[in-house]
Chain A
């Protein structure tokens, strides 16, 4: 139940961000630093989420089939595959490695 509360709050705050851009005077957000921070934070969060989902297990680090998924996704991206193909490559590699016995 508490997950619902945080989820709906996240939805509300997401809309609030979007609307702020339309309602506040442009000069308040025009500072190049504001848009740079928004951009670098996007990069940082996505990099961190990639790592967490690839090697973190609880409070520790683990090297398992997910590392293979990471490598497969990177190869697919270098070959300019579309998003969905990259995701399928990741899933397929992890599934294959598990069938082969690498947890």
Chain B
């Protein structure tokens, strides 16, 4: 059990359980938004990025078209490209590891890895969180999808309320400071204003443009909004994130076990 002595492995396992469990809510919401079991599983197995998966079903549930759902999911997936660049510089994977590692590149595996200082620990953190979240997320997606389809009328169980709560919970950890709050409010207003004029699903894409323009012309932190859905090292405010995302420099976090 030498592996369990590694702080990165322990953090990776705990983040896998915390993240994997909420796959239940994704599975249940996906089938109640109109996807069938295998469409739900395809999103978790192949797309594998929580925010993008929720975006896809969120657009479908609101009556949006497939192309609007795809666009929202793809725009939300852009940050994984930034993570990939950081991890490539940090872990230098070769051969097949590059291609498998790419699929496992998500908020949680990136945060677990970049929160460590030792290169061997960074590698263990990435693979433990990546594989762990992948397995549990898919397992619990299946559980949620099977449970969700047996519930009958989803409204009676408040599942539309669950979707609202899920999106707010995904947004919440990213609202640190005045600027992200201002961007969120601007996008919320843009959505409400756009709704009567454009087809369902499109207001979300309008917001993406508003947010992209805000990001392009303002000069805040370069890692604004790149906080993980579930913080592997506990949330101790802000300072932590600054160092962490500036790969390839190792993080200066003095206590890699904090919150483990």
A positions within 8 Å CB-CB of B:
2-11, 13-15, 17-24, 26, 29-30, 32-56, 58-61, 65-66, 68-70, 72-74, 76-77, 82-84, 86-96, 98
Contact = CB atoms under 8 A, between A and B. Distances in A.
A41 B75 contact: yes
A46 B174 contact: yes
Contacts of B73: 10, 13-14
B10 interface: no
Nearest to B40: A7
Contact of A90 (B48, B162, B186): B162
B74 A17 contact: yes
Interface of B: 18, 21-22, 24-25, 35, 39, 42-43, 46-49, 51-52, 54-56, 58-63, 65-67, 69-70, 72-89, 93, 98-99, 101-103, 105, 155-172, 174-175, 180, 183-188, 190-192, 195-196, 200, 203-204, 206-208, 210-212, 214-216, 218, 220-226, 229-230, 245
Given A87-B166, A91-B157, 11 more contacts: A6-B65, A22-B101, A38-B78, A41-B225, A43-B171, A44-B210, A50-B167, A50-B171, A65-B161, A73-B165, A86-B168
Nearest to A70: B164
A51 B226 contact: no
Nearest to B190: A48
Contact of A47 (B56, B99, B183): B183
Contacts of A35: 79, 82, 222-223, 226, 245
B158 A45 contact: no
B22 A5 contact: no
A11 B69 CA distance: 11
B84 A22 contact: yes
Dominant SS among interface residues on chain B: helix
Contacts of B75: 41, 45
- Please provide the 8 A-B residue pairs with the shortest distance between their CB atoms, ordered closest to farther: A21-B84, A44-B211, A90-B165, A94-B161, A69-B161, A39-B225, A6-B66, A40-B215
B85 A26 contact: yes
A86 B165 contact: yes
A49 B68 CA distance: 12
